[in-house]
Amino acid sequence: MFLVEKAICRQDVPRVPVWMMRQAGRTDPEYNAYKQKDPRPLEQLFRDVQASIDISLLPQRLGVDAIIFYQDILTVLEHIGFMFYFTPAPTLKNPIQNHRDIENIQLPERNLKTLMPYIAQTLIGIQKRLNGSLPVLGFAGAPMTLSAFLFAGSSPKNIDAILQMSRLEPESLHLLQKKLTQLLIEYLNMQFDAGVLAVQLFESLADYYPRDFYEEFVQPYHEEIFGYFKDKNTILFCKECSYLDLMVKSGAKVISVGKCLDISTVANECAKYNLAFQGNVDNEVLNSGTKKDIEKAVRECIQKGGRIGHILNLNHGLLRTTPFENVQAFVETALSI
pLDDT value of position 253:
98
pLDDT value of position 169:
97
Task: For residue range 274-321, list pLDDT tens digits in order.
Answer: 999 999 999 999 999 999 999 999 999 999 999 999 999 999 999 999
Q: Which residue range forms the structural domain that includes residue 14?
A: 3-336
pLDDT value of position 223:
98
pLDDT value of position 232:
98
Task: Place 165 in a pLDDT band, splitting at 50, 70 and 90.
Answer: very high
pLDDT value of position 268:
98
What span, in angstroms and rounded, lies between the C-alpha atoms of 88 and 304? 39
Task: Place 64 in a pLDDT band, splitting at 50, 70 and 90.
Answer: very high
pLDDT value of position 207:
97
What span, in angstroms and rounded, lies between the C-alpha atoms of 60 and 21? 14
pLDDT value of position 65:
98
Burial of 252 (0-12, 13-18, 19+ CB in 10 A): buried
Average pLDDT over residues 196-207: 98
Average pLDDT over residues 99-114: 96
The answer for residues whose C-beta is within 8 angstroms of residue 216's C-beta and 6 or more apart is: 166, 170
Instruction: Answer whether 334's CB lies under 8 Å from 312's CB.
Output: yes
Name beta bridge partners: 139: 200
**Which contacts qualify for 333-337: CB closer than 8 Å, 24 or more apart?**
333/294, 333/295, 333/298, 333/299, 334/15, 334/16, 334/18, 334/298, 334/302, 335/15, 335/18, 335/63, 337/15, 337/16, 337/298, 337/299, 337/302
Q: Could you tell me the pTM of the whole model?
A: 0.97
pLDDT value of position 94:
95
Output the domain CATH number for residue 251.
3.20.20.210
pLDDT value of position 241:
98
The answer for residues whose C-beta is within 8 angstroms of residue 127's C-beta and 6 or more apart is: 136, 195
pLDDT value of position 11:
98
Task: Place 127 in a pLDDT band, splitting at 50, 70 and 90.
Answer: very high
Average pLDDT over residues 251-259: 98
pLDDT value of position 12:
97
Task: Place 168 in a pLDDT band, splitting at 50, 70 and 90.
Answer: very high
Q: What is the mean pLDDT of the chain?
A: 97
Task: For residue range 230-249, list pLDDT tens digits in order.
Answer: 999 999 999 999 999 999 99
**Domains in the chain: how many in total?**
1
Instruction: Answer whether 139's CB lies under 8 Å from 84's CB.
Output: no
